[in-house]
Structure 1
Amino acid sequence: MPISKLEFNQLNRVLDEHTGIRLNFNKADIMASRLSSRLRSSQCSSFNKYYQLIISPEGKDELDVFVDKMTTHETYFFREQVQFEFMYGYLRQKKSRNVPLRAWSAASSTGEEAYSIAMVLDDLFYSGNWSVTGTDISPTAVEMAKEACFALSTVQKIPKKYRRAYCLKGTGQNEGTFTVNKSIRSHCNFCVDNLLKLRTVDYSFDIIFLRNVLIYFDEAKQNKIIDNIIHRLNHGGLLFLGHSESLRKKRPGIELIQPCIYKKVRL
């Protein structure tokens, strides 16, 4: 079903209000494609009717689905593996730390990135003095991250030693899937949050992954998100961006140490 410019603008306004993402009209076909199944499921005869549904009190659950459909992006375990290898080498010097080490997957989607971080931290700090927080704008994605049930076909992205140590193959009704073990999951916490107006993340981190998310925002919103992130990065902490992203504006106390990897050198 084609989407009119008015309908696109209506839905785009809702997307902007709830996520900060605003699409150009050249993305109209993508929006229509992602939402076509939701129109059928919710028995809406047009995108305008769907818009009316998601702004109504009765459409709160469908609004969550709308956000998920429009914000879920590609993710997989150990994406850009060189960054995990750098993190491992950097943190290896800090094994004797007595204070907890905190990591944040700031756009965690369905959890693959957060659990990848967790495997590395458990390998380094097996005494358990670490934690990983995962946040995402999509309630659906957050629930999937908590459930930690992944297609078995994706396990090959995980290094062999971590597959053996942390991954459990599903059986019976869970055949064709795998999960991460309870020990890893006990150190991971997932919640819904908006990077433009953070509510749940009120402490600082030694490691922050903010990858493949800035590209969806305009420059002003990018700067606001980065400021929110850097404010929550500890002295000596690392910030990881996606391979096509960078800090456009130079910020005092933030030093580029590898492509797309920054260190907070002073408060």
Structure 2
Amino acid sequence: MISVQAFNQLNRVLEQKTGISLAKNKRDIVGSRLSSRLRATQCESYNEYYHFIISEKGSNELSTFIDKMTTHETYFFREASQFEFLLSYLKDKPPKRFPIRAWSAASSTGEEAYSIAMILEDLFYNHSWHVYGTDISETTIAMAQEALFAISTVSKVPKKYKKSYCLKGYGVHDGSFSVTKQIKSNCTFSVDNLLAPSTLDYSFDIIFLRNVLIYFDETKQLKILNNVIKRLNHAGLLFLGHSESLRYKRDDLKMLQPCIYKKISP
């Protein structure tokens, strides 16, 4: 079992590198997630593992540690009602200018970004659009760029999109699927930190910031929100996760549905 001291040490490293600080009740989860890394690095204790990842010799393992602590569950069209809202909203109020730009601000392995992309391609195949995905994990960004997913996860994709935009793997990729070239070529992924975004020079019409804020304290939540909202175009849409909500009313946002907001001021 991971000791309180080791948990606090590892938590401090995580906060320094990502801004995320885990609650005390996450100690057992941290121990469970890192148990395989102790074996892989031949560390005899979590305390030894902590000293390893902060050493020059452990720089590669530090990236793995961050991946283990920040990679969260994701799948295609997660919280499907939000994608249904997006589809309906864009049908009723199609954009007046192109290209349309969307940002999956915590894209993980890419399922959210590619789900947005399928909707945009369905509605605006004859117009210019692009989806940008960012995440703090180098490993998940590499997986998003590869766009190779377990075939079992395709069941979450609506039948219409599955037929049009999903490609079954064969040979060495048997048991997997990918997305079409048109979808993949219109999605760009990069490693970035929402506390200080540095890779995006665009403003966006659609931003998904889902299941992110719950991992930060109130001060950092506000900083992330400000960083994100200033990149949202006037009348653009902001999506939060179903377990998240804005603590305080903002003059620059109007709630359209729980966890879905429209920007109403520049």
Give the TM interval when normalised to the shorter protein. over 0.9
CA–CA distance in structure 1, aligned partners of residues 112 and 98 of structure 2: 23
| Partner SS, residue 156 of structure 1 | helix
- Residues 257, 214 of structure 1: alpha-carbon distance in 2 compared, 3 angstrom cutoff: same
Question: 1:161 is matched with which residue?
Answer: 160
Q: CA deviation at 1:218?
A: 1.1
Q: CA deviation at 1:257?
A: 0.8
Q: CA deviation at 1:61?
A: 1.5
Question: Structure 2 length as normaliser, TM-score?
Answer: 0.97
Asked if structure 2 preserves the Cα contact closer than 8 Å seen for 1:71 and 1:138, the reply is: yes
List per-residue Cα deviations over 1:140-198 (Å, max 9, x = no partner).
11111111111111101000010000101011111111001111000000111111111
Asked if structure 2 preserves the Cα contact closer than 8 Å seen for 1:151 and 1:176, the reply is: yes
Asked if structure 2 preserves the Cα contact closer than 8 Å seen for 1:95 and 1:125, the reply is: no
Superposed, 1:1-267 pairs within 5 Å as: 2-93=1-92, 95=94, 97-267=96-266
Asked if structure 1 preserves the Cα contact closer than 8 Å seen for 2:98 and 2:127, the reply is: no
Q: CA deviation at 1:90?
A: 1.6
CA–CA distance in structure 2, aligned partners of residues 263 and 255 of structure 1: 5
List per-residue Cα deviations over 1:31-54 (Å, max 9, x = no partner).
110001011111111112211221
Give ranges in structure 1 of 5+ residues lacking alignment. Answer: none
List per-residue Cα deviations over 1:63-115 (Å, max 9, x = no partner).
11101101111111001111111111222245574421100000111000000
Root mean square deviation of aligned Cα = 1.2
Asked if structure 2 preserves the Cα contact closer than 8 Å seen for 1:169 and 1:177, the reply is: yes
- Residues 159, 128 of structure 1: alpha-carbon distance in 2 compared, 3 angstrom cutoff: same
Counterpart residue identity of residue 232, structure 2 = L
CA–CA distance in structure 2, aligned partners of residues 52 and 202 of structure 1: 37
Identity %, equivalent residues: 65
Q: CA deviation at 1:25?
A: 2.2
- Residues 94, 255 of structure 1: alpha-carbon distance in 2 compared, 3 angstrom cutoff: closer
CA–CA distance in structure 2, aligned partners of residues 230 and 142 of structure 1: 23
Give ranges in structure 2 of 5+ residues lacking alignment. Answer: none
Give aligned pairs, total: 266
| Partner SS, residue 21 of structure 1 | coil
| Partner SS, residue 177 of structure 2 | strand
